[in-house]
Structure 1
Amino acid sequence: MCRMARPRKPLLSRDRIVEAASALVDSEGLDAVSTRRLAAELGVSGPSLYNHFRNKDEILDAVADAVSAQVDLSMFDEPDTRDWRAALHDWAVSYRAALTEHPHIVPVLAQGPGRRPAGLRVADAVFGAMVRAGWPPAQATYIGALMRYFITGSALGSFARGFVDDETAYDPADYPHLGQAHLLAERRQKVDEGAFETGLRALVDGLSLQYELLSPGGTVRPAPKRS
């Protein structure tokens, strides 16, 4: 019986293209991605990519959506038994973790979900959870936007990495309060994660105060003035 020979290389697919593009973005950044480079990485001819994607932007969209698919949404599955504050906090931590694993794709994600399925599922889950918790739809939209600004902004860069590991760079005569700034670089993860957690808790606490001021009509009453 004659058997068909197996292809020497796996057949080209959307998943293979996205995987190769994601590896390029992670290692070299967005500018490294081109259809020619991807074709070379995959060992195929350039035009074969167009059987799966129309252009580079569609490929990057798919890479971004693959990252969105890594975000945990399970905390929104049981809205009746999970406080919206805890769910929002835990989702934000998961979202940032996914972005910090793939920081070069963050500028694409920051543009919004567009038509990306996983990105839209994220937006739908957050908005739906806030509305179910009692937030008016307009406020739920603001919360979703606020959280995206905060999370993507935190993943776009590192505050700690912005300082050099050289104590002579921060002369006390010029910068009297930066005597320990040269230590930030080596403590980058702790500083950046601590800053994110501090900001996240401040946001959730602030939203909690607004939530307490919600009127029966679904608007936020002004906070009482302090004497």
Structure 2
Amino acid sequence: MARPRKPLLSRERIVEKASALVDAEGLNAVSTRRLAAELGVSGPSLYNHFRNKDEILDAVADAVSAQVDLSMFEESDPRDWRAALHDWALSYRAALAAHPHIVPVLARGPGRRPAGLRVADAVFGAMVRAGWPPAQATYIGALMRYFITGSALGSFARGFVDDETAYDPADYPHLGQAHLLAERRQQVDEGAFETGLRALVDGLVLQYEQLEPAPARRATSG
């Protein structure tokens, strides 16, 4: 019997199918048995590419990290460090917003994931080149990851029901319009993220201006 021209299974096919399952049904939908059935192969064949489910989910998470734009951190890019942080954060959040169910895996950190490590390396390297001390550059990378992944883990607006009778003004005098938040989820969540992001970057600029030697460091508007 002739062999198929294309292999029935590959890492890419497994990750693609696992990603689709995570996006549609969440992390609990992924199992080696389910993936094998979806891919039309025997269960043991998956182990030629991944040792277990955790490795598959790591690969799915890394595929999302690979979607994050890092061009603003290249030395040839004209953006200053604060514009680069801002634009990168928007790209990172967009990637997470498109795949919210994988965020808990990403929130654990990059581990050994290549794309995740490239993200961390790019942010740290750019901050050090801009004049931040290495320790502070590490803190900035951690701070931004906390903020971005935290914002993607849940929706503030979605936490309110769209029933106007749920928020009795006698009990909640300032929540008279809270029932409208759910239908404005994207506007509220994106507005909150942008507000927080600008506050974070502006706060970092104040710290940057206090670094020594100050004349060697500049934070232009870019």
TM-score by length of 2: 0.93
- Identity of paired residues, percent? 92
Give the C-alpha shift of residue 14 in structure 1: 0.1
Give the C-alpha shift of residue 8 in structure 1: 9.3
Residues of 2 paired with 1:80 and 1:57: CA distance? Answer: 36
Distance 1:41 1:172, change over 3 A: same
- Counterpart of 1:103 in structure 2 is 100
- Deviations along 1:75-125, whole A, 9 cap, x unmatched? 111367321000000000000000010000000000000000000000000
Distance 1:192 1:86, change over 3 A: same
Residues of 1 paired with 2:93 and 2:3: CA distance? Answer: 42
- Contact kept in structure 2, 1:79 and 1:129, CA below 8 Å: no
Residues of 2 paired with 1:60 and 1:66: CA distance? Answer: 10
Larger radius of gyration: 1
Distance 1:209 1:9, change over 3 A: same
Q: Secondary structure of the residue that 2:211 maps to in structure 1? A: coil
Residues of 1 paired with 2:31 and 2:203: CA distance? Answer: 44
- Counterpart of 1:219 in structure 2 is none
Residues of 2 paired with 1:188 and 1:6: CA distance? Answer: 51
Higher normalized contact order (CA 8 Å, seq sep 6+, divided by chain length)? 2
Give the C-alpha shift of residue 223 in structure 1: 19
- Contact kept in structure 2, 1:213 and 1:223, CA below 8 Å: no
- Deviations along 1:136-157, whole A, 9 cap, x unmatched? 0000000000000000000000
Give the C-alpha shift of residue 224 in structure 1: 19
- Detail structure 1 runs of 4+ shifted over 2 Å in the superposition: 4-10, 78-81, 222-225
Q: Secondary structure of the residue that 2:142 maps to in structure 1? A: helix
RMSD: 3.6
Q: Secondary structure of the residue that 2:216 maps to in structure 1? A: coil
Residues of 2 paired with 1:149 and 1:157: CA distance? Answer: 13
Distance 1:224 1:182, change over 3 A: farther
How do 1:63-212 and structure 2 match up within 5 A?
63-78=60-75, 81-212=78-209
- Contact kept in structure 2, 1:84 and 1:133, CA below 8 Å: yes
Give the C-alpha shift of residue 171 in structure 1: 0.5
- Contact kept in structure 2, 1:72 and 1:94, CA below 8 Å: yes
- Counterpart of 1:14 in structure 2 is 11
Residues of 2 paired with 1:162 and 1:6: CA distance? Answer: 53
Give the C-alpha shift of residue 7 in structure 1: 3.3
- Deviations along 1:12-41, whole A, 9 cap, x unmatched? 000000000000000110011000000000
Q: Which sections of structure 2, spanning at least 5 residues, go unmatched?
A: none
Q: Which sections of structure 1, spanning at least 5 residues, go unmatched?
A: 217-221
* Matched positions, count: 218
Q: Secondary structure of the residue that 1:7 maps to in structure 2? A: coil
Residues of 2 paired with 1:54 and 1:33: CA distance? Answer: 14
- Contact kept in structure 1, 2:73 and 2:122, CA below 8 Å: yes
